[in-house]
């Protein structure tokens, strides 16, 4: 999900000339950190015996 705003920002800069500010990059870093913190505990994947 954190790649989505990056792709959106880069293409929008080309298509409609929208700026990508440093604040957006910092916001993305916060989202990435939050997702990592929350999911690194939750996602304990195990292979189910078949």
Q: Which two tokens stand for residue 4?
A: 């989505």
- Size, binding site for another protein by CB under 8 A: 43
Encoded one letter per residue, x for contact with another protein by CB under 8 A and - for no contact, window 23-42 reads xx-xxxxxx-xxxxxxx-xx
State the Cα–Cα distance between residues 16 and 30, nearest whole angstrom: 26
Encoded one letter per residue, x for contact with another protein by CB under 8 A and - for no contact, window 2-21 reads xxxxxxxxxxx-xxx-xxxx
- The CA-atom distances, in angstroms, between 47 and each of 27, 44, 50 are 35, 10, 9
Residues that bind another protein (CB under 8 A): 1-12, 14-16, 18-21, 23-24, 26-31, 33-39, 41-48, 50
């Amino acid at each position: 999900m954190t790649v989505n705003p990056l792709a959106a920002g880069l293409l929008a800069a080309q298509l409609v000339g929208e700026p990508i500010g440093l604040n957006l990059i910092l916001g993305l870093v916060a989202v990435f950190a939050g997702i990592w913190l929350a999911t690194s505990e939750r996602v304990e994947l195990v292979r189910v015996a078949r």
